[in-house]
Amino acid sequence: MKLFTRHLSEDDELIAGCIAGKRDMQRRLYNKYAARMMAVCLRYAKTSFEAEDVLQEGFVKVFGNIQNFKRDCPIEFWIRRIMVNTALKQHRQKMHVSSVAEVEQVEKHPEEEFIFSNYAFEELLDMVHQLAPRYQLVFNLYAIEGYSHKEIAAQLDISEGTSKSQYSRARAILKEMIETKEKKYNERIIR
């Protein structure tokens, strides 16, 4: 009779090692996901130093709570959610966010697609960082992380309508920034 043994995936092995408190497994998990999570943190922080703080605090939470990981999603998604929540917590603690008036009715605009592929990550990040703090948060959570407006409203303690309004305004501002940048570029080419 042949016994079948299940081979652990790399992530399963890393998770088990982290739960056991093995530093080498924690280092390997960190090294595997740190760069991707830093990109997430950079979207929410104003500086790379703030992003590094969020990343470090986030991984402390990951290692402190990894035994609670239910394995109902990939570990990367779970870590990403911790990073986003850590960034939001830091935002609430360190930034005095000027509140934007609540708007219950969002003006309906046809969804216009504007192309980001012509821009480097750093350029896009710079544009997003130029948004007002609430617009930046809502834009990142909705457009990048895939949260619903209902989830964003709960996270930021605002109404769903305000989330939709702030996202719409953020898109309009970013579109304007892109159009201005393209206009300047085209003017240089014509000269």
pLDDT at 48 over 80: yes
Structural domain count, the chain: 2
> 125 or 98: which carries more pLDDT confidence?
125
The per-residue pLDDT for range 102-118, each reduced to its tens digit, is 333 333 343 444 445 55
**Interatomic CA distance for residues 79 and 99, integer angstroms:** 29
DSSP state of 109: -
Virtual torsion, Cα 153, 159, 163, 164, nearest 10 deg: 130
Q: How confident is the model at residue 155 (pLDDT cuts 50, 70, 90)?
A: confident
Question: Residue 51 sits in a domain of what CATH number?
Answer: 1.10.1740.10
- CB under 8 Å, gap of 24 or more: what pairs does 47-53 form? 50/90, 53/90
Q: How confident is the model at residue 119 (pLDDT cuts 50, 70, 90)?
A: low
Asked if residue 36 and residue 80 are part of one domain, the reply reads yes
Question: Residue 131 sits in a domain of what CATH number?
Answer: 1.10.10.10
pLDDT at 141 over 50: yes
Q: Quote the tokens at residue 58.
A: 């986030």
> Would you say 58 and 83 are in contact if contact means Cβ atoms under 8 Å apart?
yes
How much is the pLDDT for 133? 87
Is residue 76 a part of any domain in this protein?
yes
Residue range 6-35: mean pLDDT, rounded: 91
Q: What are phi and psi of 182, to 5 degrees?
A: -70, -35
Asked if residue 130 and residue 76 are part of one domain, the reply reads no
> 96 or 160: which carries more pLDDT confidence?
160
> 171 or 185: which carries more pLDDT confidence?
171
> Would you say 54 and 85 are in contact if contact means Cβ atoms under 8 Å apart?
no
pLDDT at 9 over 70: yes
| Residue where the block lists tokens 């953020």 | 170
Q: Which domain holds residue 78?
A: 10-96
Asked if residue 139 and residue 91 are part of one domain, the reply reads no
pLDDT at 89 over 50: yes
How much is the pLDDT for 109? 40
Asked if residue 130 and residue 89 are part of one domain, the reply reads no
Asked if residue 54 and residue 130 are part of one domain, the reply reads no
Virtual torsion, Cα 100, 166, 38, 33, nearest 10 deg: 130
Residue range 89-110: mean pLDDT, rounded: 50
Asked if residue 45 and residue 82 are part of one domain, the reply reads yes
**Interatomic CA distance for residues 141 and 63, integer angstroms:** 24
**Interatomic CA distance for residues 184 and 81, integer angstroms:** 38
DSSP state of 68: G
pTM of the model: 0.66
